[in-house]
Structure formats: structure tokens, C-alpha cells
Amino acid sequence: MLVIATLFRIKKFRAIEILLVEDSPIDAKLIAKVFSHATITHHLQIVTDGVEAIAFLHQKGKYSHKPRPDLILLALHLPKKDGLGVLAEIRANSKFLNIPVIILTTSECQEDIINCYHMDANCYLTKPNDLDAFCETVTLIQDFWLNFAKLPSF
């Protein structure tokens, strides 16, 4: 019985794995800085293009020992494979269907918004141009998805 309780505690309190797919080094640093103040234990992994994101998810190459993400923050305008292509691949694979994907982008284009929700993005957020507002947006993502939302455990 003690073993079961211990295993439950480990699983319940394990770190939340977050994959940030972001090609802007400045935005990635800001997001990482905001997440560094999170009260929930987590690991933030950063990749800079869509091809790397897919390799990370499939644990290929240099990502072979990386954990499966519990949450994905995805930019749209990425090199090599854009965010819509990455989202389509995620949602086409039954292994990844239950990973929440938050689109975090500069695009306010209605077509992008519609396409992302049509492909089952969990949330679409536009990055504010103002630094304080950008940090506040990332803090809200962190608060909601790490503190309030119930993420599936794998």
C-alpha cells in the first residue's frame, strides 16, 4: 500500500513539461523569465522552428531523451515548418491529441485565428507589443495553465 501511495505522490507532483516553439530569441527569453517565477514545478524546453518541434514530439535525434510535453506554446510564423503545419501534425497524431496547444503569436489575422481553432488549438493569444503587457499575457498563461487548468497526466 505504501508503494502505491508513494507512486501516486510522485506522479501527482511531477514537474509539468512545457514545450515552447518560438523563433524569436527575445520573446523566448522573456517567456522563460516569466515562467522562472512560477510556483508550480515545471521544465520549459525551447525549440526555434517547426521541424525541431516535430522532432521533439517524436523524440527523434537530439530530442530522444526529452520528455513528452504536457503543454505546448506555439508561434505561428516559424522557419522550416510554420505553426499551422505543426498544429496540423499534432492533431493528426492520436499520441498527441490530448496535449493542450496554445497559439502565442503576433498575428491578429482572422484567417489565422479561424484556422487555428478549426485545427483544435486550445487557445489563441496575440503577443502585445508593449513589454509589460507581453509579460502580463505570459503570466496569465502560466497562472491559468499551470495553476487552474487540469492537464492530462501521461
What confidence tier does 141 reach under pLDDT thresholds 50, 70, 90?
A: confident
What confidence tier does 72 reach under pLDDT thresholds 50, 70, 90?
A: very high
Domains recognised in the chain with CATH numbers: 20-147 (3.40.50.2300)
Q: How far is the C-alpha of 80 from the C-alpha of 45, rounded, in Å?
A: 19
pLDDT at residue 7 tops 60 = no
Q: Return the minimum-mean-pLDDT range out of 16-25, 56-65, 79-88, 140-149.
A: 140-149
φ and ψ at residue 21, rounded to 5 degrees: -110, 100
If one compares 66 and 4, the residue with the highest pLDDT of the two is 66
If one compares 147 and 93, the residue with the highest pLDDT of the two is 93
Q: Return the minimum-mean-pLDDT range out of 43-52, 94-103, 138-147.
A: 138-147
pLDDT at residue 6 tops 70 = no
Q: For 23-45, what is the mean pLDDT?
A: 85
Sign of CA pseudo-dihedral 65, 68, 72, 74 = positive
What confidence tier does 133 reach under pLDDT thresholds 50, 70, 90?
A: confident
Q: 65, 76 in Cβ contact below 8 A?
A: no
Q: For 116-144, what is the mean pLDDT?
A: 86
Which amino acid type is present at position 141? I
Edge to edge, what strands does the sheet with 42-47 contain?
Answer: 42-47, 16-21, 71-74, 101-105, 123-126
> How many Å is the Cα radius of gyration of the chain?
16
Q: How far is the C-alpha of 2 from the C-alpha of 93, rounded, in Å?
A: 37
Name the pTM for this structure: 0.84
